[in-house]
Amino acid sequence: MLLPEVEVIRKDLEREVVGKRVKDVHVTRAGLVTRHRTRARFVAALRGRRLEGVTRHGVLLALRLDDESQLVVHLGALGSLRRETATMRPRPGTQLVATFTTGGALHYVDPGQDGEMFVAGAASEALAGLDPSGIDPLTDTFTWPAFSHRIKADGRTLRALLVDPAFLVGLGDLYADEILWTAGLSGGRSPSSLSSQEVRRLYRGVQEVVHEAVKQGGTSADGFEHQDLYGAPGAYGAQLKVHGRAGQPCPRCRQPIRDGRADDGTGFHCPQCQT
Ligand SMILES: [Zn+2]
């Protein structure tokens, strides 16, 4: 799950579950709560607790509980949270169902095996390690000085740098391609070759793409299906300029988009207006 999609879910959860008290929890895949010795211990840590807030640490979500502990949620690559009615039967792939005392339920649906959840006390070391090493473009740590300093000091190509979560959190191939197109830069460039004006363009490109993707409810496109808490697909997929659009005309200069993944690792890009 990429950064804009996790932020969309965080906002939905804030609106939908904060203030609710957990009635019961049912976990169907033990691996989901592997940090607890048994599923029953995980369930016991949640049952009867009121949800007080939702924060995001990179691509992890933390739901604060009324006993100062937190439910940490790592949505798998294909995982999704869904608000459902209390009587809704779980769909195939549902790994957790939480019901609330006031009615309604939250389902975690994931056909994969890479999602994880755990409850940790306020003083837990597990909570101390939540914050990512990379810069989060949706927070105020994403400053122009921090960005330009770290980008200039890196020896890799621009695209390799953008997809590295230790540099910027949760962009992935999809948003990296869109950011490079927005900035008019080739992903094969060396960061040290960028003029300060080009670094500025890239910085603005990151902001523009990430904020717009959140505003549009994330991306739902071929091979990348994202739905919000209510099951609505993300609308940013219709706004993708280059990613997944090989052979189609560039929206800026009409040259055909090229897929450079196999030969030079540049990703989807416009060979004419990204230099
Ligand atoms: Zn172009």
Instruction: Identify the band that residue 96 occupies on the pLDDT scale cut at 50, 70 and 90.
Output: very high
Residues with CB under 5 A from ligand 1 (ion): 250, 252-253, 255, 270, 272-273
Residue 58 Cα to ligand 1 midpoint, Å, equals 32
Q: What is the 3-state secondary structure (H, E, C) of 134-154?
A: CECCCCCCCCHHHHHHHHHCC
Class of domain 3-128: alpha beta
What CA–CA distances, in Å, run from 258 to 163, 222, 265? 19, 17, 11
Residue 7 Cα to ligand 1 midpoint, Å, equals 30
Give 159's contacts (C-beta < 8 A, 6+ positions apart): 176, 177, 180, 187, 188, 265, 266, 267
- Nearest CA to 108 out of 129, 83, 132 is that of 83
Name the pairing type of β-strands 70-74 and 80-84. unpaired
Residue 237 Cα to ligand 1 midpoint, Å, equals 19
Residue 249 Cα to ligand 1 midpoint, Å, equals 8
pLDDT at 95 over 90: yes
Class of domain 144-269: mainly alpha
pLDDT at 222 over 80: no
Residue 157 Cα to ligand 1 midpoint, Å, equals 20
User: Quick one: pLDDT at residue 67?
Assistant: 95
Residue 254 Cα to ligand 1 midpoint, Å, equals 6
pLDDT per residue over 145-159, tens digit each? 989 988 988 889 999
pLDDT at 99 over 80: yes
Q: What is the 3-state secondary structure (H, E, C) of 144-180?
A: HHHHHHHHHCCCCCHHHHHCCCCCECCCHHHHHHHHH
Residue 245 Cα to ligand 1 midpoint, Å, equals 12
Residue 275 Cα to ligand 1 midpoint, Å, equals 10
Which two structure tokens, joined as six digits, stand for 197? 């004006």
Residue 236 DSSP class: G
The overall average pLDDT reported for the chain is 94
Domain with CATH 3.20.190.10 in the chain: 3-128
What is the average pLDDT across 241-258?
97
Instruction: Identify the band that residue 130 occupies on the pLDDT scale cut at 50, 70 and 90.
Output: confident
% pLDDT > 70, the chain: 100
Residue 234 Cα to ligand 1 midpoint, Å, equals 25
Residue 274 Cα to ligand 1 midpoint, Å, equals 7
Residue 244 Cα to ligand 1 midpoint, Å, equals 15
Domain with CATH 1.10.8.50 in the chain: 144-269
φ, ψ for residue 94 (rounded to 5)?
A: -75, 125
Instruction: Identify the band that residue 131 occupies on the pLDDT scale cut at 50, 70 and 90.
Output: confident
Residue 153 Cα to ligand 1 midpoint, Å, equals 28
Residue 170 Cα to ligand 1 midpoint, Å, equals 25
